[in-house]
Chain A
Amino acid sequence: MITAQRHNMFQQEWTGKGERGIRDFLLIPAIFFGAVCPGLFISSVLTDYVPGYWVALALNLIGYGVAHLLFLGRMERFWRAVINLRTSWISRGFLFNAMFSLFGLLYALSEAADLPILSGPAVNALLKLMSILSAVLFAAYPGFMISIVKAIPFWRSTLEPVLFFLQGVMGGMAIQVLLMSIIALPGAADNALIKINTILVLIVLLLFMTALVIKALHGGAEKISVTFLTTGAFSPVFIGGTIIVGLVVPLFLLIAGLFLNLDFGAYRSLYYIALLMELVGIYLGKYSILRAGAYAPLK
């Protein structure tokens, strides 16, 4: 059993050392927007909420694209990222993002403007399918990207891509409902979205708990990561921020609202608070998972 190892066991490459100022910390916002933007797009397409398409694409461009570029050491070489598609998840993520941006834009244009080249039910259905498919891949890819890292046992889990995708859709729905308070459309499906969102919050909470228990049982570096998150120095952020603020309290508020049959129209502020808390939780969740990446001991 290792009793002491005098070097940092936790990865710092992706959570920032701060030597380049704010640029070092931009990966977490990029990953956050990289999850909620495709989530918002999927949710908007499924509920025919056209403003959601544009907001998702714009947030993706700025929140994901620009933030990610600024995080890179040599952003002028970003185009090289697509070279190693065969084995690198960064390359694949770059491709998924490009596909999502392209098909999402084409689908949004086909819905918003009467362009002859994009008209016709077959073209529309194809664009819808491709944009949703690329959004799903884009939302899940960071999960695949970290789950294949052999060096960090805590991340090696098939649950990661599922968690990343579900958190993305959950956050996307939250943004859509909040967006609807600004740009409301007739026949908006607020109540239906709230119900689906409640189920997603419950699933994500259960997945988090399952993942933590499984990892804690493995011991070694995985247990070090779990301890760091649950009882260690980072527990206020993870337990307080991700689990309680981001999942438990919103779940309680949403379930209370549903059980008490509180109409969305009359109790908007209650739901808005719950949804905002979800978004905070998703952000802190991404940060916590990356921050807790502990390397296995040498021997």
Chain B
Amino acid sequence: MKRWGMVIDMKKCTGCQTCTLSCKVYHGLGPDVVRCRVIEQETGSFPAVERMLFSLRCMHCNEPECMKACPTGATRRRADGIVTVDQDKCMGCRYCALVCPYQARTFLGVEKRYFPENGNLWENMRYKEHQVGTVEKCDFCQKRIDEGLAKGLEPGKDPAATPMCVISCIGKALYFGDLNDPASMVSNLIRERKGFALKQELGTEPSVYYLPRKR
């Protein structure tokens, strides 16, 4: 069985937020609603200061805290490891957003549009896919993956079957693939460059790995 995962090369990430924007445009996310973002973190003190950029999104954990916390069963983990929210079941209690150690969820409290009256066809179509009063999160562009697989494409290699943030990254810092396949590019990168996951001590077993800037 496949387990989709992502690898983010911190050496290549420039913090340009193209992943954030491409995600917002593709999914038609309104103001203040993000599924993917880049945050800066500084460590140490002068002169040994290090600035790190973390491209954050849902980590699609193997042991998702959000799924355990969800009272309605709206949050589910698919067989291929993608954690999804069924917006028809979510009651908007926001417990999942609270328990997520990566702050990867956003509550859509009111309808938010950048251009409420003059939205183009794409925006109008995408806005309809979001339900006010429910929680939003990254789903690794599951529709693209599922449709791509149905067409015989390979996620991570064929752009049409790969998450938007990965194909739009200008620094080619994002990789997508099957973590269960030891020969896949993501598995090789994690192995060779000592990839790490965030907050592993919590036992969530994330499916998003980061490659350190220094070897």
Say what secondary structure dominates the interface of chain A.
Answer: loop
Which chain A positions have C-beta within 8 A of B189?
A: none
Query: How many chain A residues touch B (Cβ–Cβ < 8 Å)?
Result: 43
Q: Does residue B120 face the partner (Cβ distance < 8 Å to A)?
A: no
Q: Nearest chain-A residue to B73 (Cβ)?
A: A83
Q: Does residue B68 face the partner (Cβ distance < 8 Å to A)?
A: yes
Q: In whole angstroms, what is the CA distance A150 to B69 when docked?
A: 11
Q: Does residue B127 face the partner (Cβ distance < 8 Å to A)?
A: no
Which chain A positions have C-beta within 8 A of B131?
A: 74
- Give the size category of B's interface with A: 35 or more
Interface residues of A in 114-134 (CB under 8 A from B): none
- Given A150-B101, A151-B101, A299-B52, answer yes or no on A84-B73 (Cβ-Cβ < 8 Å): yes
A-B contact count (CB 8 A): 137
Q: In whole angstroms, what is the CA distance A299 to B71 when docked?
A: 30
**B88-100 near A? 1/0 per residue, CB < 8 Å:** 0111111101111
Verify A73–B134 contact, CB threshold 8 A: yes
**A133-145 near B? 1/0 per residue, CB < 8 Å:** 0000000000001
Residue from B73, B91, B97 in contact with A74 in the complex, judged by beta carbons closer than 8 Å: B91
Q: Does residue B121 face the partner (Cβ distance < 8 Å to A)?
A: no
Q: Does residue B118 face the partner (Cβ distance < 8 Å to A)?
A: no
Verify B94–A81 contact, CB threshold 8 A: no
Residue from B89, B99, B107 in contact with A150 in the complex, judged by beta carbons closer than 8 Å: B99
Which chain A positions have C-beta within 8 A of B54?
A: 298-299
Verify B133–A74 contact, CB threshold 8 A: yes
Verify A84–B70 contact, CB threshold 8 A: yes
Q: In whole angstroms, what is the CA distance A295 to B100 when docked?
A: 9
Lowest 3 CB-CB distances: which A-B pairs, in order?
A73-B92, A73-B133, A90-B71
| Partner-B contacts on A (CB < 8 A) | 1-7, 11, 13-14, 17, 19-20, 24, 71-75, 77-78, 80-84, 87-91, 94, 145, 149-152, 293, 295-299
